[in-house]
Amino acid sequence: MAAMITVYGIPNCETVKKARAWLQAQQRAYTFHDFKKQGVPESRLDAWLAALGWEALLNRRGATWRQLDEATRAGVTDAASARALMLAKPSVIRRPVVEWSDGAISAGFDAQAWAQRH
């Protein structure tokens, strides 16, 4: 049996909805991990940070980031400070984070890039 694709995110996020719809349209089986209900798995977060870097994983364009006070935003200067914020406020993680069946990790949804994964 092929390894499963795991999609991490928040169900009401528009980008997550698009990504899940794309996977269903491509008939790709996946499991969904809901940050709101299940939290952020620390060991997986460490793997994402190692694979993508904290800058790529931190969503500075989202509402959660904009709602943070200036001191909190200014305090995110490296992987350790970004990791602490991501654990405290999972909504600042760029979504969806996908662990592909081949072991690759991606953040965000890009239909063209995803189609090349076939």
CATH number for the domain that contains residue 12: 3.40.30.10
As given in the structure block, the two tokens for residue 113 are 């890039």
- β-pairing, 30-34 vs 5-9, is parallel
| pLDDT at 76 exceeding the cut of 50 | yes
pLDDT tens digits along 3-54: 689 999 999 999 999 999 999 999 999 999 999 999 999 999 999 999 999 9
As given in the structure block, the two tokens for residue 67 are 């709602």
pLDDT tens digits along 41-54: 999 999 999 999 99
Active-site residue, 55 included: no
Catalytic residue among 6, 8, 13, 97: 13
pTM of the model: 0.93
Quote the distance between the C-alpha of residue 2 and its chain's center.
22
Amino acid at 52: L
Which pLDDT does position 7 carry in this prediction? 98
Note the helical H segments in the chain.
Answer: 14-25, 35-38, 42-52, 54-57, 63-67, 70-74, 79-88, 111-115
Which pLDDT does position 3 carry in this prediction? 65
| pLDDT at 83 exceeding the cut of 50 | yes
Number of domains in the chain: 1
Structural domain range at position 35: 5-115
User: Crossing angle of helices 79-88/42-52, nearest 10°?
Assistant: 140
